Structure 1
Amino acid sequence: MRIPAAPLLFGLLLAAPFLWGAATLLSGDLARWGAARIGAPYIGPNLQLFLAPVVLPFMAGALWGLAARTSGARALVAMLLAAAPALWMFLMGGGGAASLGVNLIFGFAGVLLLDFAFSRWGLAPPWWLALRLWINLSAIAALALTVV
């Protein structure tokens, strides 16, 4: 299934900072260049650990919008599940950089499981899972580099 242009572009914009952060972790030259040109907050773990707590609830909020497309008990369950990642971020956001990184990895993995469920329930458009799969996997891989 082909992902429409607007969601694809927005997905790239969501994934790009994670990939940039990972690249600056893997390359000292790139990290030095990035720190000198755009500033230390926008490279490596700094970027990922400040960006991910914003992106995770945003991605869950998109699921909440999909949950609103149904009704009854299914809507209630879907809305509760869609709110869970934001609550997870609120409860697990502290504890230092390594703990935050691990909790974010679990959060993005949880959102990915919810993406699968919402797709299976017919709440998401046909292209949804293809888009969300690579966004979530990009975030998880980049955060794993940060944690290691």
Structure 2
Amino acid sequence: MSGARDIPGAALWLGLAGLLPFIWGAGTTIFPELGDAVRPVVGSRMIGPYVQLFFGMVILSFMSGVLWGFATRAQPDQATWAYGLSVLPALWAFFMTGGGPYGAGLALMAGFAGLLALDWLYWRAGIAPDWWMRLRVPLTVVVIVCLGVGVMA
């Protein structure tokens, strides 16, 4: 059985580092005094659910690019759907994250769940690496849980 050791080190560590804004946002939502202490240095945009919302939109757009990259590996009979679906996370982030932090947080939670479904589809089609889902599932769970903290606040 393959495990985390099969995930390339750079992908694993950069993926884990990408969780930091989500974890920080959840932490400063649960412990507002922490956010208050750093607000003069980092500003309101970088604490609580706001950092999660801004970064979440960036990551969904980034992941569209990753899926586009996978689409370049697709066979001709897969290419049309692979390219077409690859733009959905960025479009979702663009169109669905307005309307305040509650609605944007819910939209991002749904967006990351949908992204995981696309990850699985590309992995199942053989155009994502073998280790892809072992990386993406735990990252997505942490992101959705952290966004949930922001939504519940």
TM-score (norm 2): 0.88
CA distance in structure 1 between the partners assigned to 2:87 and 2:48 by the alignment: 28
Which consecutive unaligned segments of at least 5 residues does structure 1 have?
none
Deviation by residue 1:19-47 (Cα, 9 ceiling, x = unmatched): 11111111233223332453332111121
Which consecutive unaligned segments of at least 5 residues does structure 2 have?
none
Percent identity of paired positions between Structure 1 and Structure 2: 42
- Name the structure 2 match of 1:61: 65
Matches for 1:1-148 after TM superposition, within 5 Å? 1=3, 2-148=6-152
Q: CA RMSD, aligned part only?
A: 1.5
Whether the 8 Å contact between 2:105 and 2:147 is mirrored in structure 1 is yes
Secondary structure of the corresponding residue to residue 16 of structure 2 = helix
Whether the 8 Å contact between 1:57 and 1:89 is mirrored in structure 2 is yes
Q: How many residues align?
A: 148
Deviation by residue 1:40-84 (Cα, 9 ceiling, x = unmatched): 321111211111111111112101101110132311111111111
Whether the 8 Å contact between 1:34 and 1:42 is mirrored in structure 2 is no
Secondary structure of the corresponding residue to residue 125 of structure 1 = coil
TM-score (norm 1): 0.91
CA distance in structure 1 between the partners assigned to 2:143 and 2:20 by the alignment: 9
CA distance in structure 2 between the partners assigned to 1:147 and 1:36 by the alignment: 24
